[in-house]
């Protein structure tokens, strides 16, 4: 199992997105501070602004939501159908489907701007 932590602006909004849009299951939620979600062997921890993970670093840098290019990858069986469904739900995509060597991928953003990759193998 892999565990990933994403900083988010709003935990409730993140839980709604990952559960209703991307098919995660909510394992635990601790109010508006933090939630733990599961998708197969992936455990996603979404941390809001009031968690210890959001405390400033020793150099003053402040962790926050909204994505660099690091991301986790969700393996899917039918990328085109899923993308069409997600577009209909208003999901923001960063690119169009990229295909190379029979593999396909696309990047989307969660409500806080964190990047998620959807990937279909050959």
> What domains appear along the chain, each with residue ranges and CATH number?
2-52+65-120 (3.10.180.10)
Q: Helix, strand or coil for residue 62?
A: coil
The pLDDT value recorded for residue 2 is 87
Question: What is the mean pLDDT of the segment spanning 60-71?
Answer: 80
Q: In angstroms, rounded to a whole number, what is the distance separating the alpha carbons of residues 35 and 37?
A: 6
Who contacts 33 (Cβ-Cβ below 8 Å, separation ≥6)? 11, 47, 48, 50, 51
CA dist 102 and 43 (Å) reads 28
77-99 pLDDT per residue, tens: 999 999 999 999 999 999 999 99
Alpha carbons 29 and 6: distance in angstroms, whole number: 14
Q: 77 or 58: whose pLDDT is higher? A: 77
Question: To which residue do tokens 């593999």 refer?
Answer: 103
């Amino acid at each position: 199992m892999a565990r990933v932590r994403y900083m988010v602006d709003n935990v409730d909004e993140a839980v709604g997105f990952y559960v209703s849009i991307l098919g995660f299951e909510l394992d635990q939620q601790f109010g508006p501070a933090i939630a733990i979600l599961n998708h197969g062997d992936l455990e996603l921890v979404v941390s809001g602004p009031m968690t210890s993970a959001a405390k400033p670093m020793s150099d003053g840098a402040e962790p926050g939501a909204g994505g660099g290019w690091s991301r986790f990858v969700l393996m899917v069986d039918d990328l085109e159908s899923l993308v069409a469904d997600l577009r209909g739900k208003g999901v923001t995509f960063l690119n169009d489907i990229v295909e190379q060597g029979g593999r396909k991928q696309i990047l989307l953003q969660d409500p806080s701007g964190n990047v998620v990759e959807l990937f279909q193998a050959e």
